[in-house]
Amino acid sequence: MSDCCEGGTKLIYSCAGSADVGEIADRVVRRLRDEGYAIMTCLAGVGAGLSGFVQSAIGADENITIDGCSTACARKSLERIGVNPKSYILTAMGLEKHETPVTEKVIDEIFEKIINSGGFLAATITTLTNSCCGVQILNKKMNKGD
């Protein structure tokens, strides 16, 4: 594990595909980040093979992907570098590609399904800033679900 990628790191990656379900995936991931459940990082950096982002993914304690559809681009991007993430696929959760309106109600429903699935148990996570591995872990802790 890289020195700058240690310490209970839970990274989350989003599909941001062109379909409605990709936009929903991205908005759900941003909400998970904003509420302190995981640390969002750059899937494009992983896909481009940028060493900092690749090493961050490899060094993380947990990687999570949220894809809009079964093509699973986010999950496959991590698998390509030897990382097996916990994966959520929105079409497997009842959304229909090209048929799902991007509304706060839909985003809230998917957010709650993911939180209640057991993949986001109450945890302490660290926050990150850009640095040596694409991200650098800070010592600040965020407690969720206490």
CA distance 64 to 108: 19
The answer to whether residue 12 sits within a structural domain is yes
89, burial (CB in 10 Å: exposed 0-12, middle 13-18, buried 19+): buried
Residue 15 placed within a domain: yes
- Specify the higher pLDDT residue, 116 or 118: 116
Q: What is the number of domains present in the chain?
A: 1
Return the structure tokens found at 122: 């109450």
Does 136 reside within a domain? yes
| pLDDT of 67 over the 90 cut | yes
Tokens 């694409």 sit at which residue?
Answer: 134
- Between 122 and 62, residue with greater pLDDT: 62
The residue ranking higher by pLDDT, 146 or 64, is: 64
Whole-model pTM: value is 0.80
Residue 72: domain span: 3-141
Is the pLDDT confidence value at 133 over 60?
no
Q: Is residue 51 part of a domain?
A: yes
16/43 Cα distance (integer angstroms): 9
Q: How much is the mean pLDDT over the chain?
A: 83
Q: Does 110 fall in a domain?
A: yes
Tens-digit pLDDT profile for residues 101-115 = 999 999 999 999 999
- Look at residue 146 and tell me if it is in a domain: no
| Separation CA 145–CA 122 (nearest Å) | 5
Higher local confidence (pLDDT), 35 or 120: 35
pLDDT tens for 76-102 read: 999 999 999 999 999 999 999 999 999
The answer to whether position 101 is within a domain reads yes
Is 28 inside a domain boundary?
Answer: yes
Q: How far apart are CA 36 and CA 6, in angstroms?
A: 18
